[in-house]
Amino acid sequence: DSGVTQTPKHLITATGQRVTLRCSPRSGDLSVYWYQQSLDQGLQFLIQYYNGEERAKGNILERFSAQQFPDLHSELNLSSLELGDSALYFCASSVGPGTSGRIEETQYFGPGTRLLVL
Amino acid sequence: KNQVEQSPQSLIILEGKNCTLQCNYTVSPFSNLRWYKQDTGRGPVSLTIMTFSENTKSNGRYTATLDADTKQSSLHITASQLSDSASYICVVRRSNDYKLSFGAGTTVTVRA
């Protein structure tokens, strides 16, 4: 158990719908990362927040948005869902902002949310 | 073209043997490089993180090397165990916009 929790574990929805994925980081971690993993694309970095502020942006679609709240939990909002959005969505957390090689930059991954868009 | 290329795509080794995985990258400017182990259907687990000034870093039977001049890294697994069967992913971070670039991974299968 990494200490990172994600809800829900599974989500089935229809095209055009909107869903919200939630992530609670490990106690004391300030960074939250979101990743998407689909069968044909591998692991893709979406976005990182550090202490409430957006820190880095990856291949995140405009239909997707995220935020980190004052209590440091984070939500990933996916809207106008398409079949191709079906994937495993991981959240990870770390103590630091991610730019050094120190131990506090180690990312701990949650169990993921499996999204199926029908 | 992916900025992080891993090889081989997959490999099969016998229990107790060693193996080496390769990661070549073009990401620039460079911040750090990470190796992850991912079991099927589970979140990745961090093995090592290395910055520009670090050449070698070990985590148990896993040893990563980094040559920042040639932009190459390797992950060496010593005395492989059945539990080492997993996908190993190389990730490089850019230092200006902090973006992370992922390799496609190397799938390692350890057989008894």
CA distances from A26 to A34, A106, B71 (A): 14, 12, 32
Q: List chain B residues with CB under 8 Å of A43.
A: 38, 44, 89, 102, 105
pLDDT digits (tens, 9 = 90+) for B16-64: 999 999 999 999 999 889 999 999 888 899 999 998 888 999 999 999 9
CB of A5 within 8 Å of a chain B CB? The answer is no
A98 has pLDDT over 80: no
Q: Kindly report the nearest CA distance between residue A38 and chain B, in angstroms.
A: 11
Q: Calculate the alpha carbon distances from B84 to B4, B11, B80, B93 in Å.
A: 22, 12, 6, 25
Q: Which amino acid makes up residue B76?
A: H
Confidence of residue A101 (pLDDT cuts 50, 70, 90): low
Q: Which residues contact A6 (CB under 8 A, 6 or more apart)?
A: A21, A22, A23, A24, A89, A90, A91, A110, A111, A112, A113
Question: Would residue B71 be called left, alpha or beta, if left means φ above 0 and alpha means ψ between -120 and 50 degrees?
Answer: left
Percentage of the residues of chain B whose pLDDT score is greater than 90: 79
Predicted confidence (pLDDT) per residue in A46-63, tens digit: 999 999 999 999 989 999
Q: Vertex A111, ends A104 and A92: CA angle to 5°?
A: 30
Q: What is the pLDDT of residue A103?
A: 64
User: A7 near A50, Cβ under 8 Å?
Assistant: no
Q: Does A105 contact B49 at a Cβ distance shorter than 8 Å?
A: yes
Mean of all residue pLDDT scores within chain A: 92
